[in-house]
């Protein structure tokens, strides 16, 4: 533990990692029927080949909507008011 840590923050004894058996933790993968079946490497490559395409399309649409909104504010709100001063 670093020396610059306040004494109240220092544990009295070192922290120990808990064994898996000692942890009271349940997850979605706790039961075998909740775990997906393993797939071959070539199936994984095929599934991930076009992975980010949908996310990029959604991000592009969001940016286009923001840009169109900015143009609408500029041309419909700022320009009609005229120059300042």
Domain ranges of the chain: 52-85
Q: CA 36 to CA 28: how far, in whole Å?
A: 11
pLDDT tens-digit map of 9-49: 666 666 666 565 656 666 777 777 777 788 899 988 888 88
49-85 pLDDT per residue, tens: 877 888 899 999 999 999 999 999 999 998 888 887 6
Phi-psi bin for 82: left (phi > 0), alpha (psi -120 to 50), beta? left
Element (H or E) spanning 67, and its range? helix 53-73
pTM: 0.46
């Amino acid at each position: 533990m670093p020396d610059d840590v306040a004494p109240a923050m220092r544990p009295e004894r070192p922290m120990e990692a808990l064994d898996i058996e000692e942890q009271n933790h349940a997850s979605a993968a706790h039961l075998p029927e909740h775990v997906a079946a393993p797939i071959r490497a070539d199936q994984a490559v095929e599934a991930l080949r076009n992975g980010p395409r949908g996310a990029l399309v959604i991000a592009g649409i969001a940016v286009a909507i923001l840009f169109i909104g900015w143009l609408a504010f500029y041309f419909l709100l700022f320009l009609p008011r005229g120059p300042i001063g």
